[in-house]
Amino acid sequence: MVRAAYPERMHRLPFLTVPIVQAPMAGATSPELVAAVANAGGLGSLPGGYDAPEMIRERIARVRALTDRPFAVNLFVDTSPGASAEQLARANERLRPYREELGIAQPAQPRVSSVTWEGQLEAMFAARPAVFSFTFGIPDAAVFARCWELGIFTLGTAETVDQAVALERAGADAVCMQGFEAGGHHGTIRSAVDDALTGTLALVPQAVDAVRVPVLAAGGIGDGRGVAAVLALGAAAAQVGSAFLLADESAVPAPARAVLASDAARRTVLTNAFSGRYARGVRNRFIDEMDGDDAIAPYPFQHALTGDLRAAAAAAGRTEFLSMWAGQAVALSRALPAAEIVRRLVSGAHESLAAARATLADSR
């Protein structure tokens, strides 16, 4: 079921008091962070793309114990191309030297997740969050119809104008335009990296002109100046991720947090080394040695294969083997309570817009 066209563009989203959406960052987002952003008037987003249905239900319950405000649940659309046994064996063997260095056993058979998109969807539907956000593709019509019946607002992720138009036609209530600068996995409907090369400043106004549904902006928005910029471009809200990585409520482990707070965080790259799908993170040894390697399995298989490496590295504080996802504006992040981060994003946007108005007034 496709929603009726909006009679006029919505510049305000019904679940927001302030135009801030916390990006769903797997491994970095706790239920406490989601609730804190929601309580501050923004939209907290709970990532569930890697989680089993029971974990999704448990984490939603934890959020609801902390807030009665709306929040989003984010899932990855199942677009896996599959992988042959030969591909998986080769990718698994390529990781042997790193496992030996970390002192962990080489699995005889590659580990593959048994989590299904259908099971995750049912957990989300049962919980009926205010917003269902999704990346990596476009759900089928039945998913949009179910969301419509349950009163769940749908938010799709795009990295090109064509993708935004396709999401609108499919029935998405809003689209989040993710620029090249964004941290973490890029939400492109295709997995090709060349879909992720347009910056937020160029991408957002083109999308605003092309679709009638609200447009959110993501990528490179690290403080109030960035929020002001995307609002001026016509975005209904700013989706911010890296600014919350150092929040008190963040789930980022201490070793990675230290790197993200250092000058090393200024060096981010797009890589498929950890998951088989391109994502932006802080450059480290594993990325340098593995990025673009022919043995890398497609997503989500590479993510499953590197899971033991990442877990062992986290336990040992070996950040050279961690996927430290972060955007190009991560150097602007500060270690503060999430509510204060939201407050500063909003107040900074007001200050920036006022300064811009003054500059324009002076130019008359």
Least confident of 86-100, 181-195, 321-335: 181-195
Judge whether 177 and 203 are in contact, CB under 8 Å. yes
What pLDDT does residue 125 have? Answer: 99
Residue among 314, 179, 337 nearest 244 (CA): 337
Residue among 349, 327, 357 nearest 226 (CA): 349
What pLDDT does residue 109 have? Answer: 80
Using 50, 70 and 90 to split pLDDT, how confident is the model at 190? Answer: low
For 166-219, the DSSP string reads HHHHHT-SEEEEE-TT--EE---SS--GGGG---HHHHHHHHHHH-SS-EEEES
Which residue type is seen at 242?
S
What pLDDT does residue 363 have? Answer: 80
Q: What predicted TM-score, i.e. pTM, was given to this entire model?
A: 0.93
What pLDDT does residue 113 have? Answer: 77
Using 50, 70 and 90 to split pLDDT, how confident is the model at 114? Answer: confident
What pLDDT does residue 358 have? Answer: 94
Cα–Cα dist 310/102, whole Å: 10
Q: What six digits make up the tokens of 236?
A: 């209904």
Cα–Cα dist 124/134, whole Å: 12
Distance of CA 206 to the CA centre of its chain: 21
- Report in angstroms the alpha-carbon separations of 193 from 114, 238, 272, 289: 27, 23, 9, 19
What pLDDT does residue 208 have? Answer: 97
* DSSP H or E stretch at residue 158: strand 153-158
The pair phi, psi for residue 77, each rounded to 5°, is -65, 135
The pair phi, psi for residue 64, each rounded to 5°, is -70, -20
Mean of pLDDT over the chain: 93
* Res. 26: pLDDT tops 60: yes
Please write the tens of the pLDDT for every residue from 207-227. Answer: 999 999 999 999 999 999 999
Structural domains of the chain ordered from first start: 1-78+116-251+334-364 (3.20.20.70), 84-113+253-331 (no CATH)
What pLDDT does residue 3 have? Answer: 45
Q: What is the distance in angstroms between the CA of the first residue and the CA of the last residue of the chain?
A: 50
Using 50, 70 and 90 to split pLDDT, how confident is the model at 195? Answer: low
Mean pLDDT of 162-180: 97
Mean pLDDT of 153-179: 97
Question: Which CB contacts under 8 angstroms, 24+ apart, belong to 83-92?
Answer: 83/297, 83/298, 83/301, 87/297, 87/298, 87/301, 88/112, 88/297, 88/301, 88/305, 90/295, 90/297, 91/295, 91/296, 91/297, 91/301, 91/302, 91/305, 92/305
In this structure, the strands spanning 268-271 and 279-282 are antiparallel
Cα–Cα dist 218/237, whole Å: 9
* DSSP-derived 3-state class of residue 349: helix
* DSSP-derived 3-state class of residue 126: helix
Please write the tens of the pLDDT for every residue from 132-159. Answer: 999 999 999 999 999 999 999 999 999 9
For residues 276 and 188, which has the higher predicted lDDT (pLDDT)?
A: 276
Please write the tens of the pLDDT for every residue from 299-309. Answer: 999 999 999 99
Mean pLDDT of 24-52: 98
